[in-house]
Amino acid sequence: MSALLQKLMDGKKASEKLLAQLRNELAALQAAGKPRPQLVVLLVGEDPASQVYTRRKAKVARDIGMASELLIFPADYPQADLLARIAELNADGAVHGILVQLPLPGHIDEKAVLNAVDPAKDVDGFHPVNLGRMLSGDLPPALPCTPSGIMTLLEEHGVAIAGKHAVVIGRSTIVGKPMGLLLLQANATVTFCHSRTQNLAEVCRTADILVAAIGIPRKITADYVKPGAVVIDVGINRTDDGSLVGDVDFESVSPVASLITPVPGGVGPMTIATLMANTLALYHARG
Ligand code: GUN
């Protein structure tokens, strides 16, 4: 195997393994005559990237034998109507997981929407009750999909976390904050960096595990990385020529890192597979 291949954290492969397990579990439920777990994804507006992601989420769910529905609303859909739809889904016993794709259009109060999802159906783990449970260490059945998928990928590659210095660049509720909490829960020493961090490269160079979730194409070059570090790239940036690049400059960083996620084929597939696992976890948690 080439030196580079040995360093790759192949999210596609790890996600296929997880999806195969879930497919078996779903088949067993069906064979036992149990109701089918259902995921409902809501998208407001026409953001092209969000359209691609939500369609993929609904399709993967169907592919593994889960019931799934994608509800698409126009960009000017009133907040009150969206809240009413969520209330209907909360009341529908056939629905186990509800995901509202973020970001939402500017006229909609994101917090009000996330608050409206029944915490027991909150497949993203973004409801304040579930975020609070994560903070207190009383982990809910569904943890935010991207950070949770990254933890699975680290585990899959035998990365030791306890006592290591993990640096997370980004402080969103979707990725950065929960990522730091999960690494802390796994006994890492955690540093959060963000747009106001001084001497970013210097701080990053102290990381044993570096997670980049900043949304700036190829921002993290070799001079941000300690030799032997594990580098996780959460970025999905589309370049002018239409190709996808991460927040990490793969070409310069891969010779320095001991393990690195590619874009595409790293974190992205893990996020989707984790979403499926979360839906099933909520199904089982309902009992
Ligand atoms: N937008 C980007 N990532 C995510 C995610 O994990 N969940 C939701 N709901 N929206 C997102």
CA 189 to chain centre: 21
Task: Give CA–CA dist 185/160, Å, rounded.
Answer: 13
User: Is 12 labeled as catalytic in the residue annotation?
Assistant: no
pLDDT at 1: 66
User: Is 121 labeled as catalytic in the residue annotation?
Assistant: no
pLDDT at 132: 98
Kindly state if the Cβ of 215 falls inside 6 Å of ligand 1. Answer: no
Task: Give CA–CA dist 24/19, Å, rounded.
Answer: 9
Q: If we measure between CA atoms, which residue out of 117, 132, 51, 107 comes closest to residue 87?
A: 117
pLDDT in tens, 15-40: 999 999 999 999 999 999 999 999 99
Kindly state if the Cβ of 122 falls inside 6 Å of ligand 1. Answer: no
| Residues 6+ away with beta carbon under 8 Å from 93 | none
Q: Whole-prediction pTM value?
A: 0.97
Strand order in the sheet with 97-100: 67-73, 38-44, 97-100
Residue 148: half-sphere exposure toward Cβ, Cα within 13 Å: 23
Q: If we measure between CA atoms, which residue out of 210, 103, 80, 98 comes closest to residue 154?
A: 210
Kindly state if the Cβ of 102 falls inside 6 Å of ligand 1. Answer: yes
Q: Reduced to 3 states, what is the DSSP secondary structure of residue 231?
A: strand
Q: Which residues pair with 71 in a beta bridge?
A: 42
Task: Give CA–CA dist 105/96, Å, rounded.
Answer: 25
Burial of 156 (0-12, 13-18, 19+ CB in 10 A): middle
From the CA of 137, how far away is ligand 1's center (Å)?
22
Kindly state if the Cβ of 135 falls inside 6 Å of ligand 1. Answer: no
Task: Give CA–CA dist 150/137, Å, rounded.
Answer: 18
pLDDT in tens, 194-241: 999 999 999 999 999 999 999 999 999 999 999 999 999 999 999 889
Kindly state if the Cβ of 47 falls inside 6 Å of ligand 1. Answer: no
Task: Give CA–CA dist 199/201, Å, rounded.
Answer: 6
Q: How many CB atoms lie within 10 A of CB 281?
A: 19
From the CA of 280, how far away is ligand 1's center (Å)?
18
Pocket test for ligand 1, best of 54, 121, 145, 172 (most atoms within 8 A of CB): 145
CA dist list (Å): 280 to 10, 39, 41, 56, 266: 23, 9, 15, 17, 23
Kindly state if the Cβ of 174 falls inside 6 Å of ligand 1. Answer: yes
Beta strands of 64-113 (E only): which ranges? 67-73, 97-100
* Inter-residue contact 226 to 191 (CB < 8 Å): no
Which residues of the chain fall below pLDDT 50?
none
Q: Which of 7, 38, 101, 164 is catalytic?
A: 101
Helices (H) and strands (E) in the chain, counts: 11, 10
Phi first, then psi, for residue 184 (nearest 5°) are: -65, -45
User: Is 57 labeled as catalytic in the residue annotation?
Assistant: yes
Nearest ligand 1 atom, CA 99: 9
Task: Give CA–CA dist 100/114, Å, rounded.
Answer: 8
pLDDT at 287: 79
